[in-house]
């Protein structure tokens, strides 16, 4: 049912944890299943995401997409990170089964929330 990439990120998730003095934190929940994801960002003066960590209380697809998105945005600027979509994350993982596509929203939405939090603190 899951691709090898999904299983890899699920069994060996990258960038799990929290950042104490995070520049931005985003949390979203999925109404359909009750799963929750939180993303922590560390952003430098050039708007580059230097570090990113996540905590996901969710299914295998939610954990794999969270892990993948942290890999995708690390080292990117905020504007580059903002254009990453849930569809792109799923594609990077070789696809998700259709009933599991909604799980990838969690990662992309939590990232957007964390960026929003960072931008509001910067003002």
CB 92, CB 70: distance < 8 Å: no
- Helix ranges restricted to H, 1-123: 4-11, 60-73, 78-82, 86-92, 103-122
Three-state SS at 4: helix
Q: How far is the CB of 95 from ligand FES (least distance, A)?
A: 15
x/- site string to ligand FES, residues 5 to 44, per CB under 6 A? -------------------------x--x-x---------
Q: Which is nearer to ligand FES, 59 or 82 (CB)?
A: 59
Beta-bridge partner residues of 55: 38
Q: How far is the CB of 23 from ligand FES (least distance, A)?
A: 26
- Which of 64, 12, 8, 11 minimizes the C-alpha distance to 37? 64
- Judged by CB under 6 A, does residue 77 bind ligand FES? no
Q: Among residues 33, 57, 121, 122, which one is catalytic?
A: 33
Q: Which is nearer to ligand FES, 48 or 59 (CB)?
A: 59
Which residues are designated catalytic?
33, 103
């Amino acid at each position: 049912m899951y691709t090898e990439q999904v299983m890899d990120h699920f069994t060996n998730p990258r960038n799990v944890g929290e950042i104490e003095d995070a520049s931005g934190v985003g949390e979203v929940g999925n109404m359909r299943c009750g799963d929750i994801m939180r993303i922590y960002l560390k952003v430098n003066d050039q708007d580059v995401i230097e570090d990113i960590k996540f905590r996901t209380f969710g299914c295998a697809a939610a954990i794999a997409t969270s892990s993948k998105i942290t890999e995708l945005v690390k080292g990117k600027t905020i504007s580059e990170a903002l254009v990453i979509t849930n569809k792109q994350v799923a594609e990077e993982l070789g696809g998700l089964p259709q009933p599991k596509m909604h799980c990838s929203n969690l990662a992309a939405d939590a990232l957007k929330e964390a960026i929003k939090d960072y931008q509001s603190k910067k003002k």
